[in-house]
A and B are shown apart, each in its own frame.
Chain A
């Protein structure tokens, strides 16, 4: 056997071992998934857990099917998804703008530094009630909740990235007489783009928290509302169903942002 065919053979073996490994990983992932739901179902049927509180996969499934067929679940889904998307976009954009202002004026950023620390440390959902009193029990309050929860951390992360841009890139621009705005547009912003997109990923998750809490507090519609309603009327199948939908949509949104990130950062 020549060296060439030997190497080819070894490479095939190597690739085969990779696929085999991947198959095992998938296998165990599915096992865990099935075990969880089967155990849940059995435990509920045999009253190892209180079926009134923990419901069961079959009951959740039945309810979900019913709600999908009569269409009653969709307004709740769209409301929450809409609020979340709006919340995290506003949070990210506002955070980036604030970061730009801080970068613009180092003096201002020094002044505001301790306030940022305090605001960042504060648990944002705690101001929910105040928001609702101030803005009224409307969708606006909920969207603001979804935004406010991510805005400060975005500001801090993006500002740090603005500041860490290699100063020599600015020097290059300055030798051509660039203004501060041109420096921002040509160097600071594009070189921080990957950071901004990666904060999007974090902010999606944060906005779900903000929006669901907001819906707990005021709304008449949305998945958070369904959870708190189910809780109040002691319908935990409804709670579980809403939770299930939230998990699905939060994952979809996260994957979507991840996909966008890959596209953008690869081109950059």
Chain B
């Protein structure tokens, strides 16, 4: 069995006036230690799928298995970083990154120290006592990542973590996140609508169709690219080949949609 199994997941949002089917028949499996990207047009259900994997919402049909256990609610194995940083503005950076440890009653000197060390590794020294509003977008995103990693989850879900950043910051953060996750041997799922980012960071790319979203195609990133850190991967000779391939596929998807 794989580390993570998504089996025939379909999800609809119900309201009085309407029902919106966000996902239909999604099945995939991920091995431990893999870095996976979900790529697709906006509104195709990527965030919905991450929420289902994290246990925040229950799929209408189907289920998710994490280490052979059915996911029935949020759990300690999974860390989920939402589409925006959602740092608590009334808490200091320190209080923000400790919140997971506090809620799970693991807050002690050792875990505190580990978390602070991680924050420093992310290039954030002397910000512990500051408030989120005093930090730039890139710094906040790093704090949010530290907050997610603090409880030491095995599986990390990242929802468009770089989409609100300027290009330079984004490239730097890609490298930082990539090497941090590799170092701790995390399994990660990255949601993005940036083809380049997906190629540079991941081992495998799942391309989703328009809503209701389902897996349209799977792209395996060549080994040569996977080994490189994202910045170098972007300038690798094989990069543009796979970029073109995915680009074409996306174009076709849009065409079928226009008909």
Contact = CB atoms under 8 A, between A and B. Distances in A.
A177 B88 contact: no
Contacts of A175: 54, 56, 74, 78-80, 148
Contact of B74 (A169, A176, A190): A176
A191 B132 CA distance: 14
B58 to A, nearest CB: 13
B52 to A, nearest CB: 13
B103 A171 contact: no
A186 B104 CA distance: 13
Contacts of B73: 177
B14 interface: no
Interface residues of B, number: 22
A177 B86 contact: no
Given A171-B82, A172-B82, A178 B103 contact: yes
A166 B78 CA distance: 22
B84 interface: yes
Contacts, number: 50
A221 B99 CA distance: 52
B74 A174 contact: yes
Contact of A173 (B79, B103, B148): B103
B99 A173 contact: yes
Contacts of A182: 103
Contacts of A232: none
Interface in B77-128: 78-80, 82, 84, 86, 88-91, 99-100, 103-104
A193 B78 CA distance: 31
Nearest to A194: B90
Contact of A193 (B88, B90, B151): B90
Interface in A162-199: 166, 168-169, 171-178, 182, 186-187, 190-191, 193
B82 A174 contact: no
B216 interface: no
B75 interface: yes
A268 interface: yes
B70 interface: no
B236 interface: no
B76 interface: yes
A190 B90 contact: yes
Nearest to A265: B90
Contacts of A190: 88, 90-91
Contact of B99 (A168, A186, A193, A268): A186
A169 B99 CA distance: 12
Contact of A169 (B79, B88, B103): B88
B90 A176 contact: no
Contact of A177 (B84, B90, B104): B104
B245 to A, nearest CB: 34
B74 A177 contact: yes
A168 B100 contact: no
Given A175-B79, A190-B90, 16 more contacts: A168-B82, A169-B86, A171-B56, A174-B56, A175-B54, A175-B56, A175-B148, A176-B74, A176-B99, A176-B151, A177-B74, A177-B75, A178-B103, A186-B88, A187-B88, A268-B90
Closest 5 A-B residue pairs measured CB to CB? A176-B100, A176-B103, A175-B80, A190-B90, A268-B90
11 contacts: A168-B82, A169-B88, A171-B82, A172-B82, A175-B56, A176-B103, A176-B104, A177-B76, A178-B103, A182-B103, A268-B90
